[in-house]
Protein backbone atom coordinates (compact mmCIF):
# COMPACT_ATOMS: atom_id res chain seq x y z
CA UNK A 1 0.00 0.00 0.00
CA UNK A 2 2.96 2.33 0.51
CA UNK A 3 4.65 2.04 -2.81
CA UNK A 4 4.36 4.91 -5.20
CA UNK A 5 3.54 4.12 -8.80
CA UNK A 6 4.90 7.03 -10.79
CA UNK A 7 3.36 5.69 -13.95
CA UNK A 8 -0.18 6.17 -12.73
CA UNK A 9 -2.16 8.92 -14.39
CA UNK A 10 -5.71 10.11 -14.54
CA UNK A 11 -7.16 10.42 -17.99
CA UNK A 12 -10.31 12.47 -18.27
CA UNK A 13 -12.86 13.35 -20.91
CA UNK A 14 -14.70 16.31 -19.47
CA UNK A 15 -17.78 18.27 -20.34
CA UNK A 16 -20.56 16.37 -18.59
CA UNK A 17 -22.14 17.94 -15.49
CA UNK A 18 -21.43 15.85 -12.38
CA UNK A 19 -24.67 14.70 -10.81
CA UNK A 20 -25.68 12.45 -7.94
CA UNK A 21 -24.52 11.63 -4.42
CA UNK A 22 -21.08 11.18 -2.93
CA UNK A 23 -20.12 10.05 0.57
CA UNK A 24 -17.22 11.79 2.29
CA UNK A 25 -14.64 9.86 4.33
CA UNK A 26 -12.82 10.71 7.54
CA UNK A 27 -10.63 13.80 7.78
CA UNK A 28 -7.04 13.02 6.82
CA UNK A 29 -5.56 15.81 8.91
CA UNK A 30 -7.55 14.87 12.00
CA UNK A 31 -6.70 11.20 11.50
CA UNK A 32 -2.94 11.84 11.35
CA UNK A 33 -2.92 13.62 14.71
CA UNK A 34 -5.35 11.21 16.36
CA UNK A 35 -3.27 8.20 15.29
CA UNK A 36 -0.16 9.76 16.85
CA UNK A 37 -2.03 10.58 20.04
CA UNK A 38 -3.29 7.00 20.30
CA UNK A 39 0.15 5.79 21.48
CA UNK A 40 -0.10 8.04 24.55
CA UNK A 41 -1.89 5.32 26.50
CA UNK A 42 -0.78 1.76 27.23
CA UNK A 43 -4.36 0.62 26.78
CA UNK A 44 -5.86 -0.37 23.45
CA UNK A 45 -7.47 2.31 21.31
CA UNK A 46 -9.85 1.69 18.41
CA UNK A 47 -10.13 4.39 15.75
CA UNK A 48 -12.63 4.26 12.93
CA UNK A 49 -13.66 6.39 9.99
CA UNK A 50 -9.99 6.60 9.01
CA UNK A 51 -9.55 7.46 5.34
CA UNK A 52 -7.60 4.81 3.42
CA UNK A 53 -5.13 7.26 1.90
CA UNK A 54 -1.37 7.21 1.54
CA UNK A 55 -0.57 9.76 4.30
CA UNK A 56 -2.54 7.79 6.86
CA UNK A 57 -0.84 4.57 5.83
CA UNK A 58 2.60 6.19 6.10
CA UNK A 59 1.71 7.38 9.62
CA UNK A 60 0.67 3.86 10.57
CA UNK A 61 4.01 2.64 9.21
CA UNK A 62 5.90 5.22 11.32
CA UNK A 63 4.03 4.09 14.42
CA UNK A 64 4.72 0.41 13.77
CA UNK A 65 8.36 1.29 13.23
CA UNK A 66 8.71 2.62 16.79
CA UNK A 67 7.01 -0.46 18.22
CA UNK A 68 3.29 0.32 18.36
CA UNK A 69 1.12 -2.65 17.55
CA UNK A 70 -1.50 -1.86 14.95
CA UNK A 71 -4.16 -4.21 13.76
CA UNK A 72 -6.36 -3.36 10.84
CA UNK A 73 -9.89 -4.32 11.77
CA UNK A 74 -11.25 -3.24 8.38
CA UNK A 75 -10.44 -0.73 5.67
CA UNK A 76 -11.32 2.22 7.89
CA UNK A 77 -10.72 0.89 11.39
CA UNK A 78 -7.54 0.16 13.34
CA UNK A 79 -6.84 -1.18 16.81
CA UNK A 80 -3.71 0.37 18.32
CA UNK A 81 -1.66 -0.56 21.34
CA UNK A 82 1.25 1.66 22.34
CA UNK A 83 2.36 -0.22 25.47
CA UNK A 84 5.42 -1.73 23.83
CA UNK A 85 6.96 1.31 22.19
CA UNK A 86 10.65 0.58 22.09
CA UNK A 87 12.06 3.53 20.17
CA UNK A 88 11.43 7.18 20.87
CA UNK A 89 12.89 8.20 17.56
CA UNK A 90 11.01 8.67 14.29
CA UNK A 91 13.00 8.13 11.12
CA UNK A 92 13.55 10.60 8.27
CA UNK A 93 12.01 8.03 5.93
CA UNK A 94 8.59 8.90 7.39
CA UNK A 95 8.98 12.62 7.95
CA UNK A 96 10.05 13.13 4.35
CA UNK A 97 6.83 11.47 3.20
CA UNK A 98 4.55 13.18 5.69
CA UNK A 99 5.48 16.14 7.81
CA UNK A 100 2.63 15.26 10.14
CA UNK A 101 4.70 12.40 11.55
CA UNK A 102 6.08 15.19 13.76
CA UNK A 103 2.90 14.74 15.80
CA UNK A 104 4.69 11.75 17.29
CA UNK A 105 7.07 14.25 18.89
CA UNK A 106 4.33 15.87 20.97
CA UNK A 107 2.75 12.50 21.77
CA UNK A 108 5.96 10.72 22.81
CA UNK A 109 7.31 13.74 24.70
CA UNK A 110 4.09 13.88 26.70
CA UNK A 111 4.10 10.18 27.51
CA UNK A 112 7.81 9.35 27.85
CA UNK A 113 9.28 12.85 28.45
CA UNK A 114 11.65 12.21 25.59
CA UNK A 115 11.35 12.05 21.82
CA UNK A 116 13.30 12.55 18.67
CA UNK A 117 12.02 13.15 15.15
CA UNK A 118 13.89 13.88 11.95
CA UNK A 119 13.66 17.58 11.16
CA UNK A 120 11.13 18.23 8.42
CA UNK A 121 12.32 20.19 5.41
CA UNK A 122 10.32 22.55 3.21
CA UNK A 123 7.69 21.23 0.86
CA UNK A 124 5.87 21.89 -2.37
CA UNK A 125 3.68 24.67 -0.96
CA UNK A 126 6.44 26.67 0.68
CA UNK A 127 8.82 26.86 3.61
CA UNK A 128 7.41 25.27 6.71
CA UNK A 129 8.95 26.42 9.99
CA UNK A 130 8.38 24.59 13.28
CA UNK A 131 9.56 27.33 15.64
CA UNK A 132 6.19 27.53 17.36
CA UNK A 133 6.13 23.81 18.13
CA UNK A 134 9.58 24.20 19.71
CA UNK A 135 8.56 27.31 21.63
CA UNK A 136 5.65 25.35 23.11
CA UNK A 137 7.71 22.31 24.12
CA UNK A 138 10.28 24.58 25.77
CA UNK A 139 7.59 26.46 27.65
CA UNK A 140 6.43 23.12 29.06
CA UNK A 141 9.91 22.51 30.44
CA UNK A 142 11.55 20.46 27.70
CA UNK A 143 15.08 20.95 26.43
CA UNK A 144 14.83 21.02 22.68
CA UNK A 145 17.82 20.57 20.38
CA UNK A 146 17.99 20.71 16.65
CA UNK A 147 20.99 19.55 14.69
CA UNK A 148 22.26 16.54 12.80
CA UNK A 149 18.94 16.60 10.93
CA UNK A 150 17.01 15.88 14.10
CA UNK A 151 14.80 17.63 16.57
CA UNK A 152 15.09 16.12 20.04
CA UNK A 153 13.10 17.07 23.08
CA UNK A 154 13.46 15.80 26.60
CA UNK A 155 12.39 16.82 30.07
CA UNK A 156 12.84 15.60 33.64
CA UNK A 157 9.43 16.95 34.32
CA UNK A 158 6.86 18.65 32.10
CA UNK A 159 5.10 21.53 33.80
CA UNK A 160 2.06 23.39 32.49
CA UNK A 161 2.54 26.97 31.34
CA UNK A 162 0.99 29.91 29.55
CA UNK A 163 1.85 29.74 25.85
CA UNK A 164 1.07 32.44 23.32
CA UNK A 165 1.35 31.36 19.68
CA UNK A 166 2.62 34.26 17.57
CA UNK A 167 0.88 32.87 14.53
CA UNK A 168 -2.18 30.64 14.27
CA UNK A 169 -0.76 27.18 13.61
CA UNK A 170 -2.73 23.96 13.40
CA UNK A 171 0.36 21.79 13.83
CA UNK A 172 1.81 23.70 16.78
CA UNK A 173 -1.56 23.86 18.55
CA UNK A 174 -2.06 20.11 18.25
CA UNK A 175 1.53 19.17 19.14
CA UNK A 176 1.56 21.40 22.23
CA UNK A 177 -1.90 20.19 23.20
CA UNK A 178 -0.74 16.57 23.21
CA UNK A 179 2.32 17.27 25.34
CA UNK A 180 0.41 19.54 27.74
CA UNK A 181 -2.16 16.79 28.28
CA UNK A 182 0.45 14.86 30.28
CA UNK A 183 2.29 17.83 31.85
CA UNK A 184 1.85 18.67 35.52
CA UNK A 185 -0.71 21.38 36.20
CA UNK A 186 -2.42 23.86 33.97
CA UNK A 187 -1.51 24.94 30.44
CA UNK A 188 -3.16 27.77 28.56
CA UNK A 189 -2.60 27.98 24.79
CA UNK A 190 -3.45 31.43 23.46
CA UNK A 191 -4.09 32.30 19.82
CA UNK A 192 -4.74 28.60 19.28
CA UNK A 193 -5.90 27.27 15.90
CA UNK A 194 -9.68 26.67 15.79
CA UNK A 195 -9.83 24.21 12.90
CA UNK A 196 -12.34 21.35 13.20
CA UNK A 197 -9.48 18.86 13.40
CA UNK A 198 -8.01 20.66 16.43
CA UNK A 199 -11.38 20.15 18.13
CA UNK A 200 -11.44 16.53 17.00
CA UNK A 201 -8.01 15.83 18.50
CA UNK A 202 -9.08 17.48 21.77
CA UNK A 203 -12.27 15.40 21.85
CA UNK A 204 -10.23 12.28 21.21
CA UNK A 205 -7.76 13.08 24.02
CA UNK A 206 -10.67 13.87 26.36
CA UNK A 207 -12.19 10.50 25.51
CA UNK A 208 -8.88 8.99 26.75
CA UNK A 209 -9.22 10.85 30.05
CA UNK A 210 -7.53 14.19 29.23
CA UNK A 211 -8.91 17.41 30.63
CA UNK A 212 -9.02 19.92 27.76
CA UNK A 213 -11.45 22.82 27.49
CA UNK A 214 -11.89 25.56 24.93
CA UNK A 215 -10.81 23.69 21.79
CA UNK A 216 -12.45 25.47 18.86
CA UNK A 217 -11.83 28.88 20.48
CA UNK A 218 -8.66 31.02 20.62
CA UNK A 219 -7.85 29.88 24.13
CA UNK A 220 -7.40 26.22 25.02
CA UNK A 221 -7.01 25.24 28.66
CA UNK A 222 -5.47 21.94 29.65
CA UNK A 223 -5.32 20.42 33.10
CA UNK A 224 -2.57 17.80 32.92
CA UNK A 225 -3.29 14.16 33.83
CA UNK A 226 -0.89 11.40 34.84
CA UNK A 227 -2.23 8.73 32.57
CA UNK A 228 -4.61 8.24 29.69
CA UNK A 229 -6.83 5.23 29.06
CA UNK A 230 -8.19 3.32 26.08
CA UNK A 231 -11.09 4.54 23.97
CA UNK A 232 -13.05 4.00 20.78
CA UNK A 233 -13.26 6.99 18.52
CA UNK A 234 -14.59 7.94 15.11
CA UNK A 235 -12.76 10.61 13.07
CA UNK A 236 -14.77 13.62 11.80
CA UNK A 237 -15.63 13.92 8.08
CA UNK A 238 -13.05 15.53 5.80
CA UNK A 239 -14.04 19.13 5.09
CA UNK A 240 -11.50 19.44 2.28
CA UNK A 241 -12.61 16.31 0.46
CA UNK A 242 -16.17 17.59 0.82
CA UNK A 243 -15.22 21.05 -0.43
CA UNK A 244 -13.47 19.54 -3.42
CA UNK A 245 -16.67 17.76 -4.51
CA UNK A 246 -18.64 20.97 -3.90
CA UNK A 247 -16.31 22.78 -6.30
CA UNK A 248 -16.60 19.88 -8.75
CA UNK A 249 -20.38 20.45 -8.82
CA UNK A 250 -19.85 24.16 -9.41
CA UNK A 251 -17.24 23.99 -12.15
CA UNK A 252 -19.01 21.25 -14.14
CA UNK A 253 -22.40 23.00 -13.73
CA UNK A 254 -23.70 19.91 -12.02
CA UNK A 255 -25.78 19.01 -8.99
CA UNK A 256 -24.13 16.99 -6.21
CA UNK A 257 -25.39 15.91 -2.81
CA UNK A 258 -22.27 15.68 -0.64
CA UNK A 259 -23.12 13.31 2.20
CA UNK A 260 -21.59 12.57 5.61
CA UNK A 261 -20.32 16.09 6.31
CA UNK A 262 -20.63 18.68 9.05
CA UNK A 263 -22.14 21.61 7.10
CA UNK A 264 -20.84 24.10 9.66
CA UNK A 265 -17.24 23.11 8.81
CA UNK A 266 -17.95 23.95 5.17
CA UNK A 267 -19.38 27.43 5.70
CA UNK A 268 -16.51 29.38 4.11
CA UNK A 269 -16.59 27.24 0.97
CA UNK A 270 -20.40 27.39 0.89
CA UNK A 271 -20.36 31.19 1.19
CA UNK A 272 -17.91 31.60 -1.69
CA UNK A 273 -19.79 29.19 -3.96
CA UNK A 274 -23.00 31.10 -3.26
CA UNK A 275 -21.24 34.38 -4.10
CA UNK A 276 -20.06 32.75 -7.31
CA UNK A 277 -23.67 32.04 -8.25
CA UNK A 278 -24.29 28.45 -7.09
CA UNK A 279 -27.21 27.33 -5.00
CA UNK A 280 -26.19 25.49 -1.83
CA UNK A 281 -28.71 23.65 0.35
CA UNK A 282 -27.64 22.53 3.82
CA UNK A 283 -29.05 19.45 5.54
CA UNK A 284 -28.15 17.98 8.93
CA UNK A 285 -25.23 15.98 7.62
CA UNK A 286 -25.11 16.80 3.91
CA UNK A 287 -24.85 19.74 1.53
CA UNK A 288 -26.20 19.93 -2.00
CA UNK A 289 -24.51 22.17 -4.54
CA UNK A 290 -26.56 23.07 -7.59
CA UNK A 291 -24.99 24.88 -10.53
CA UNK A 292 -26.91 23.42 -13.46
CA UNK A 293 -27.53 25.97 -16.22
CA UNK A 294 -26.28 28.74 -13.95
CA UNK A 295 -23.83 31.48 -14.86
CA UNK A 296 -20.85 31.58 -12.48
CA UNK A 297 -19.72 35.02 -11.26
CA UNK A 298 -16.42 36.48 -10.17
CA UNK A 299 -15.63 36.99 -6.51
CA UNK A 300 -12.70 37.59 -4.16
CA UNK A 301 -11.30 34.90 -1.89
CA UNK A 302 -8.64 35.21 0.83
CA UNK A 303 -7.30 32.18 2.66
CA UNK A 304 -7.27 32.49 6.44
CA UNK A 305 -7.19 30.25 9.50
CA UNK A 306 -10.57 28.67 10.37
CA UNK A 307 -13.32 29.88 10.23
CA UNK A 308 -11.78 31.75 7.29
CA UNK A 309 -11.51 30.24 3.83
CA UNK A 310 -9.17 27.20 4.04
CA UNK A 311 -5.88 27.38 2.16
CA UNK A 312 -6.38 23.69 1.32
CA UNK A 313 -9.44 24.71 -0.75
CA UNK A 314 -7.67 27.55 -2.56
CA UNK A 315 -6.74 25.74 -5.82
CA UNK A 316 -10.16 24.08 -6.16
CA UNK A 317 -11.92 27.44 -5.71
CA UNK A 318 -9.55 29.09 -8.22
CA UNK A 319 -10.49 26.38 -10.73
CA UNK A 320 -14.15 27.38 -10.32
CA UNK A 321 -13.43 31.11 -10.65
CA UNK A 322 -11.25 30.68 -13.75
CA UNK A 323 -14.41 29.82 -15.73
CA UNK A 324 -16.63 32.37 -13.98
CA UNK A 325 -17.62 35.64 -15.67
CA UNK A 326 -15.45 38.65 -14.78
CA UNK A 327 -12.22 39.14 -12.85
CA UNK A 328 -11.71 37.33 -9.55
CA UNK A 329 -8.91 37.51 -7.03
CA UNK A 330 -7.56 34.72 -4.85
CA UNK A 331 -5.23 35.84 -2.07
CA UNK A 332 -3.08 33.20 -0.36
CA UNK A 333 -2.13 34.36 3.11
CA UNK A 334 -0.95 31.12 4.72
CA UNK A 335 1.67 29.55 2.40
CA UNK A 336 4.25 31.35 0.31
CA UNK A 337 4.34 29.08 -2.73
CA UNK A 338 0.88 27.79 -3.36
CA UNK A 339 0.26 28.94 -6.94
CA UNK A 340 2.41 26.40 -8.71
CA UNK A 341 -0.64 24.90 -10.39
CA UNK A 342 -1.43 28.12 -12.22
CA UNK A 343 0.90 27.35 -15.14
CA UNK A 344 -0.73 23.95 -15.50
CA UNK A 345 -4.18 25.53 -15.46
CA UNK A 346 -3.03 27.99 -18.14
CA UNK A 347 -2.33 24.96 -20.36
CA UNK A 348 -6.05 24.25 -20.06
CA UNK A 349 -6.97 27.76 -21.18
CA UNK A 350 -7.21 29.63 -17.87
CA UNK A 351 -6.06 33.25 -17.68
CA UNK A 352 -4.34 33.87 -14.38
CA UNK A 353 -1.71 36.40 -13.38
CA UNK A 354 0.17 36.15 -10.10
CA UNK A 355 1.15 39.31 -8.27
CA UNK A 356 3.00 38.39 -5.08
CA UNK A 357 0.45 36.37 -3.11
CA UNK A 358 -2.58 37.26 -5.22
CA UNK A 359 -3.88 35.40 -8.25
CA UNK A 360 -5.79 37.68 -10.57
CA UNK A 361 -8.12 35.52 -12.58
CA UNK A 362 -9.86 36.63 -15.74
CA UNK A 363 -12.71 34.24 -16.32
CA UNK A 364 -12.75 32.36 -19.62
CA UNK A 365 -15.68 30.56 -21.20
CA UNK A 366 -14.40 27.01 -20.70
CA UNK A 367 -11.35 24.81 -20.18
CA UNK A 368 -9.76 22.71 -22.88
CA UNK A 369 -8.19 19.35 -22.10
CA UNK A 370 -4.39 19.19 -21.80
CA UNK A 371 -1.62 17.13 -20.30
CA UNK A 372 -0.80 18.53 -16.85
CA UNK A 373 1.11 17.53 -13.69
CA UNK A 374 -0.17 17.61 -10.14
CA UNK A 375 2.26 19.88 -8.25
CA UNK A 376 0.88 18.93 -4.81
CA UNK A 377 -2.09 17.23 -3.19
CA UNK A 378 -4.87 19.84 -3.37
CA UNK A 379 -3.71 21.48 -6.59
CA UNK A 380 -3.68 18.00 -8.12
CA UNK A 381 -7.32 17.47 -7.16
CA UNK A 382 -8.14 20.91 -8.54
CA UNK A 383 -6.62 20.02 -11.93
CA UNK A 384 -8.72 16.86 -12.04
CA UNK A 385 -11.96 18.77 -11.54
CA UNK A 386 -10.84 21.30 -14.17
CA UNK A 387 -10.34 18.33 -16.51
CA UNK A 388 -13.87 17.13 -15.78
CA UNK A 389 -15.17 20.57 -16.72
CA UNK A 390 -13.15 20.83 -19.94
CA UNK A 391 -15.42 20.96 -22.97
CA UNK A 392 -12.91 19.91 -25.59
CA UNK A 393 -10.07 17.48 -25.60
CA UNK A 394 -8.65 14.98 -23.18
CA UNK A 395 -6.94 15.84 -19.91
CA UNK A 396 -4.13 13.66 -18.62
CA UNK A 397 -2.97 14.36 -15.06
CA UNK A 398 0.53 13.14 -14.15
CA UNK A 399 2.05 12.71 -10.68
CA UNK A 400 -1.24 11.63 -9.18
CA UNK A 401 0.51 10.01 -6.20
CA UNK A 402 0.17 13.47 -4.67
CA UNK A 403 -3.61 13.21 -5.00
CA UNK A 404 -3.61 9.72 -3.53
CA UNK A 405 -2.00 11.13 -0.37
CA UNK A 406 -5.35 12.59 0.60
CA UNK A 407 -8.24 11.30 -1.52
CA UNK A 408 -9.61 7.78 -1.16
CA UNK A 409 -10.95 6.29 -4.40
CA UNK A 410 -11.08 9.76 -5.97
CA UNK A 411 -11.70 8.50 -9.51
CA UNK A 412 -14.26 5.94 -8.32
CA UNK A 413 -16.26 8.61 -6.52
CA UNK A 414 -16.08 10.92 -9.55
CA UNK A 415 -17.23 8.13 -11.88
CA UNK A 416 -20.15 7.56 -9.51
CA UNK A 417 -21.18 11.14 -10.32
CA UNK A 418 -20.98 10.56 -14.05
CA UNK A 419 -17.40 11.75 -14.52
CA UNK A 420 -15.55 10.19 -17.42
CA UNK A 421 -12.25 9.52 -15.65
CA UNK A 422 -9.95 6.51 -15.55
CA UNK A 423 -6.81 5.69 -13.59
CA UNK A 424 -4.29 4.20 -16.02
CA UNK A 425 -0.78 2.93 -15.46
CA UNK A 426 0.43 2.30 -18.99
CA UNK A 427 0.39 3.88 -22.42
CA UNK A 428 -1.81 1.13 -23.87
CA UNK A 429 -4.67 1.77 -21.42
CA UNK A 430 -4.28 5.50 -21.91
CA UNK A 431 -4.67 5.14 -25.69
CA UNK A 432 -7.58 2.73 -25.22
CA UNK A 433 -9.44 5.33 -23.13
CA UNK A 434 -8.75 8.06 -25.68
CA UNK A 435 -10.01 5.85 -28.48
CA UNK A 436 -13.14 4.95 -26.54
CA UNK A 437 -14.14 8.55 -25.85
CA UNK A 438 -13.21 10.18 -29.15
C1 LIG B 1 -1.98 22.02 8.44
C2 LIG B 1 -2.49 21.10 7.37
C3 LIG B 1 -2.30 21.72 6.00
C4 LIG B 1 -2.94 23.11 5.96
C5 LIG B 1 -2.45 23.96 7.12
C6 LIG B 1 -3.16 25.29 7.22
C7 LIG B 1 -2.07 18.93 8.36
C8 LIG B 1 -1.34 17.64 8.28
N9 LIG B 1 -1.77 19.84 7.44
O10 LIG B 1 -0.58 22.18 8.22
O11 LIG B 1 -2.88 20.88 5.02
O12 LIG B 1 -2.59 23.75 4.74
O13 LIG B 1 -2.66 23.27 8.37
O14 LIG B 1 -4.54 25.09 7.37
O15 LIG B 1 -2.95 19.11 9.18
N16 LIG B 1 4.05 28.42 11.09
C17 LIG B 1 5.12 29.05 11.71
N18 LIG B 1 5.78 28.37 12.71
C19 LIG B 1 5.42 27.12 13.11
C20 LIG B 1 4.33 26.49 12.48
C21 LIG B 1 3.66 27.18 11.47
O22 LIG B 1 5.48 30.17 11.36
O23 LIG B 1 6.07 26.58 14.02
C24 LIG B 1 3.33 29.13 10.02
C25 LIG B 1 3.41 28.42 8.68
O26 LIG B 1 4.57 28.77 7.97
C27 LIG B 1 2.13 28.88 7.99
C28 LIG B 1 1.14 29.05 9.15
O29 LIG B 1 1.93 29.12 10.32
O30 LIG B 1 2.33 30.13 7.38
C31 LIG B 1 0.13 27.96 9.29
O32 LIG B 1 0.77 26.70 9.40
P33 LIG B 1 0.15 25.48 10.21
O34 LIG B 1 -1.26 25.82 10.60
O35 LIG B 1 1.10 25.07 11.27
O36 LIG B 1 0.10 24.34 9.13
P37 LIG B 1 0.34 22.79 9.35
O38 LIG B 1 -0.17 22.38 10.67
O39 LIG B 1 1.75 22.47 9.00
pLDDT tens for 233-259 read 999 999 999 999 999 999 999 999 999
End-to-end CA distance of the chain: 34
pLDDT band at 172 (very low <50, low <70, confident <90, very high): very high
pLDDT at 122 over 80: no
Query: Considering the chain, what is the average pLDDT of its residues?
Result: 96
Strands 420-424 and 9-13: antiparallel
Tell me what the mean pLDDT of segment 100-119 comes to. 95
Q: CATH 3.65.10.10: which residues of the chain? A: 3-25+237-437, 28-234
CATH number of 28-234: 3.65.10.10
Does 319 or 92 have the greater pLDDT score? 319
Catalytic machinery residues? 123
Give this prediction's pTM.
Answer: 0.97
3-state secondary structure of 418: coil
Predicted pLDDT at 120: 80
For residue 279, the model assigns a pLDDT of: 98
Rounded mean pLDDT of 306-322? 98
Q: Which ligand 1 atom sits closest to the C-alpha of 126?
A: 26
Residue 254: CB partners within 8 Å, gap ≥ 6? Answer: 17, 18, 19, 248, 289, 291, 292, 417, 418
Return the pLDDT at 1: 44
The CATH number, out of the four listed (2.40.50.100, 3.30.750.24, 1.10.3720.10, 3.65.10.10), of the domain defined by the range 3-25+237-437: 3.65.10.10
pLDDT of 5? 59
pLDDT digits (tens, 9 = 90+) for 46-85: 999 999 999 999 999 999 999 999 999 999 999 999 999 9
CB proximity list for 55: less than 8 A, separation 6 or greater: 28, 32, 97, 98, 100, 405, 406
Ligand 1 atom with the smallest distance to the CA of 99 is 8
Angle (CA) 306 311 312, round 5°: 105
Distance (angstroms) between ligand 1 centre and the Cα of 167 equals: 9
Nearest CA to ligand 1 atom 35: 169
Q: 262 near 239, Cβ under 8 Å?
A: yes
Pocket test for ligand 1, best of 54, 171, 316 (most atoms within 8 A of CB): 171
Query: Does 2 score more than 50 pLDDT?
Result: no
pLDDT value at 10 more than 50:
yes
Q: Is 175 in the pocket of ligand 1 (CB under 6 A)?
A: no
Question: What DSSP element (H or E) covers 344?
Answer: helix 342-347
Ligand 1 neighbourhood includes 133 CB (under 6 angstroms): yes
Residue 229 has pLDDT above 50, yes or no: yes
Distance CA 39, CA 41 (A): 5
Q: What is the pLDDT of residue 95?
A: 87
Q: Using CA positions, which residue lies closest to atom 30 of ligand 1?
A: 334
Residue 119, pLDDT score: 83
Give the CB-side neighbour count of residue 339, counting CA atoms within 13 A: 21
The yes-or-no verdict on residue 374 having pLDDT over 90 is: yes
Amino acid sequence: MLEVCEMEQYVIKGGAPLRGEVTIGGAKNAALAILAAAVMTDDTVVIDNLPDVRDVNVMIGAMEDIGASIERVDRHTVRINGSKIERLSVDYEYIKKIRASYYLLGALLGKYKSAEVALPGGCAIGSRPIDLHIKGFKALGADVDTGYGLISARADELIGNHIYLDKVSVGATINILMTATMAKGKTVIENAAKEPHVVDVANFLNSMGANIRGAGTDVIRVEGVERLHGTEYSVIPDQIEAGTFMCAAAVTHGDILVKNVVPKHLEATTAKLVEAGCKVVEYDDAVRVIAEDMQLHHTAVTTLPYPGFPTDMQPQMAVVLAVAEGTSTVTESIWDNRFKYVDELARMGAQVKIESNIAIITGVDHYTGARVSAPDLRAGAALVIAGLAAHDGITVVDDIYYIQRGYEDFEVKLRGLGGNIELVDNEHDLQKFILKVS
